[in-house]
Amino acid sequence: MRILAIGDIVAPSGREYVYNNLGKIRRKYNIDFCIANGENAASANGITAEIADNLIDRGVDVITMGNHTFATHGAGTLLNENPRIIRPINYPSETEGEGYTVQDLGYTRIAVINALGRVNMTPMDCPFRAVEKALAELEGKADIIVADFHAETTSEKLAFGNYFDGKINIVFGTHTHVQTADERVLPGGTAYITDLGMTGVRDSILGVKKELIEKMYYTRKRVRFDKAEGEVYINGAVFDIDHESGKVNSIERLNFSKTEE
């Protein structure tokens, strides 16, 4: 089977790209299951019920989140009502929503776990221990396990991937919005990439107008972030995996615009 993971969907331009093109991409790459990070899908970070419904209607099977999970009004209610949207598992236990979901496709069961890094991020419970606990709960309930580790530093993501090598089938990183070129199968059999990148305007700085970010760094003053406009690129990866054995056959990075599709 083939699993598509889509990097952080940024702003209206990113989500419109997914709305309009995901069906074609799924057909072109023979995708059986799609995971997308949606924590920046709303105009000012976070996600809304309408956006989530549209992404799911267009072919996203599970939406993962991150440090902007609760950026929109009603996010807690949305997480409680829609099990296909998951938030980082290492939020405090009383937080709304769930940190993982299991989707039964009939011929295989796919568990998706979301975790949040702690280096240069909002203080949070230990992602390693939280995911270990989830794996114990998932014993016998899932055939393939995928983890989205939403973290800032490459070192923490690499540590996470290697720590769970052989315990999780696929580990990919999100959050930094810059795609890494280190996709590989780790020694224990886990498919890994440090960061999927983003789905948004390429001529930008992480989806924001370049001049605003330049001004922020030059003056050291806070600025209002306005989303960039222009040609949108999708970043992500396709994982070809044997659904019976869990063995990964190949990993292919995706990085193209609509005109290059």
177 is catalytic: no
* Residue 107 tokens, joined: 């011929």
Q: What phi-psi label fits residue 28: left (phi over 0), alpha (psi between -120 and 50 degrees) or beta?
A: alpha
Q: Give CA separation, 52 vs 19, 84, 191, 235, in Å.
A: 11, 9, 27, 19
Catalytic residue among 68, 150, 175, 243: 68
* Run of H or E including 86: strand 85-86
Rounded CA separation 218/210 (Å): 12
3-state helix/strand/coil string of 24-72: HHHHHCCCCEEEEECCCCCCCCCCCHHHHHHHHHCCCCEEECCCCCCCC
Active site residues: 68
